[in-house]
């Protein structure tokens, strides 16, 4: 759960000739349980095996986090052929195709899987649908690591990717074909609802998961933005440009009619962005640490007196277990 903020927080030394700036701070925001777990896995692997520990793909999509782990001895690579035979390797939180652990086992590499358990759940669902001889329609963004990992759980001809309602119209399946659908965990809740509705309208026999695949953290962070955006003149989203859940937060704010900007660090904020702005909404994607939220507040306080107000939609208490090989 994110720490609560005092109702009012005025920084000394701010420009007195500027009107005060209200900052509505989303709660929840920032790290989710899957990200916390993935980072701890890399840190524990470094403690247990010593540096270097190789990490396939960015462990999470945040440059600040990646740079911090790199400074501790993590080496980030894209493919296993970059890993020496005697070095440990960690798979990222986004998940990997089945071919990756198979290659690691063939090479007898010591590997630790940091795939988010909620992504792993989608992988298991894909396997179950395959066992029932259903073709899977997967809703997700082409090229995203999570999509690549999930589509790599089944033979290529057993899963079809769609991104939009328009994509559904191009699908070439018969009404009596055995179909199912699954989704990426970090999608827009509203967009995904529309795509699922289009699938169900076109293929009434299609089977879906018992519970939605969009993860609790993605849904909660979007709900918080929906709550604060209508009362904000500008929304700032802290996150990486390759972070799906962060990009969705920008879209959610804009759909509420509020301009939004994606930033990675506070130094990207331009003073002119605040011209005519009385209230700023602030949130962070699931891979952005709380340190960066405080950094942004401090930057804004350099230019204006600031008053912080939390916008709480729910409290998160989710935790995930660590892999057995890292638990004493």
Query: What would the DSSP string read from start to end of 285-323?
Result: -TT--HHHHHHHHHHHHHHS-EEEEEEES-------PPP
State the residue for tokens 């993935």.
Answer: 38
- Tracing tokens 């600031």 back to the chain, one arrives at 306
Answer whether residue 3 is part of any domain: no
pLDDT at residue number 212: 80
Any idea what the CATH number is for the domain that residue 98 is in? 3.40.50.11270
d(CA 58, CA 60) in angstroms, rounded, equals 5
pLDDT of residue 211: 79
pLDDT under 70: residue ranges of the chain: 1-16
* 161 and 200 assigned to the same domain: yes
Residues 92 and 174 in one domain: no
With 0.85 as the threshold, say if the pTM is over it.
Answer: yes
Domain harbouring 307, CATH code: 3.40.1010.20
Round to whole Å and give the CA distance between 250 and 259.
Answer: 8
Q: Supply the pLDDT for residue 16.
A: 58
Please report whether residue 96 resides in a domain. Answer: yes
Inside any domain, residue 161: yes
Is residue 239 in a domain? Answer: yes
Q: Is residue 322 part of a domain?
A: no
Give the Cα-Cα-Cα angle 151, 240, 163 (nearest 5 degrees): 35
Catalytic residue among 146, 295, 307, 316: 146
pLDDT at 2: 40
- Number of domains within the chain: 3
**Range of the structural domain that residue 59 is part of:** 33-113
Rounded CA gap, 192 and 114, in Å? 26
195 and 138 in a common domain: yes
Residues 236 and 186 occupy one common structural domain: no
Adjacent-strand bridge partners of 180: 136, 207
Angle at 70 between CA 65 and CA 76, to 5 degrees: 95
In a shared domain, residues 183 and 243: no
What sign does the CA torsion over 41, 76, 140, 160 have?
negative
Does one domain contain both 305 and 232? Answer: yes
**Helix (H), strand (E) at residue 124:** helix 117-131
Same-domain check for residues 27 and 37: no
146: annotated active-site residue: yes
Residue 59 belongs to some domain of the structure: yes
Tens of pLDDT, residue by residue over 63-77, are 999 999 999 999 999
Are the C-beta atoms of residues 20 and 305 closer than 8 Å to each other?
Answer: yes
The separation between CA 293 and the C-alpha centre of its own chain, rounded to angstroms, equals 16
Among 216, 225, 221, which Cα is nearest to 318's?
216
48 in the same domain as 26:
no
Q: Provide the pLDDT for residue 301.
A: 96
Whether 237 and 306 share a structural domain: yes
């Amino acid at each position: 759960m994110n720490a609560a903020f005092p109702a009012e927080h005025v920084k000394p030394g701010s420009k007195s000739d500027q009107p005060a700036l209200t900052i509505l701070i989303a709660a929840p925001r920032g790290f989710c349980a899957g990200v916390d777990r993935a980072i701890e896995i890399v840190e524990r692997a470094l403690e247990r095996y010593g540096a270097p520990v190789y990490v396939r793909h960015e462990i999470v999509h945040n440059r600040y986090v990646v740079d911090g782990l790199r400074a501790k001895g993590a080496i980030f690579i894209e493919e296993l052929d970059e890993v020496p035979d005697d070095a440990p390797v960690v798979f990222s939180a986004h998940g990997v195709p089945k071919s990756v652990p198979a290659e690691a086992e063939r090479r007898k590499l010591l590997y630790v899987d940091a795939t988010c358990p909620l992504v792993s759940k989608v992988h298991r669902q894909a396997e179950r649908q395959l066992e029932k001889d259903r073709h899977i329609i997967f809703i997700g963004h082409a090229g995203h690591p999570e999509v690549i990992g999930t589509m790599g759980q089944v033979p290529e001809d057993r899963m079809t990717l769609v991104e939009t309602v328009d994509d559904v119209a191009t699908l070439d399946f018969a009404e009596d074909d055995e179909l199912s659908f699954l989704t990426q965990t970090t999608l827009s809740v509203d967009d995904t609802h529309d795509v699922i509705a289009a699938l169900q309208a076109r293929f009434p026999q299609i089977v879906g998961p018992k519970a939605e695949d969009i993860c609790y953290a993605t849904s909660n962070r979007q709900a918080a933005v929906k709550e604060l955006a209508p009362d904000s003149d500008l929304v700032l989203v802290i996150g990486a440009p390759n972070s799906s859940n962060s990009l969705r937060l920008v879209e959610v704010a804009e759909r509420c009619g509020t301009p939004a900007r994606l930033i990675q660090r506070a130094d990207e904020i331009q003073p002119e962005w605040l011209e005519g702005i009385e209230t700023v909404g602030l949130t962070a994607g699931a891979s952005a640490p709380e340190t960066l939220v405080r950094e942004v507040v401090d930057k804004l306080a350099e230019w204006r007196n600031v008053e912080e107000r939390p916008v709480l939609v729910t409290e998160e208490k989710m935790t995930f277990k660590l892999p057995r090989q890292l638990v004493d």
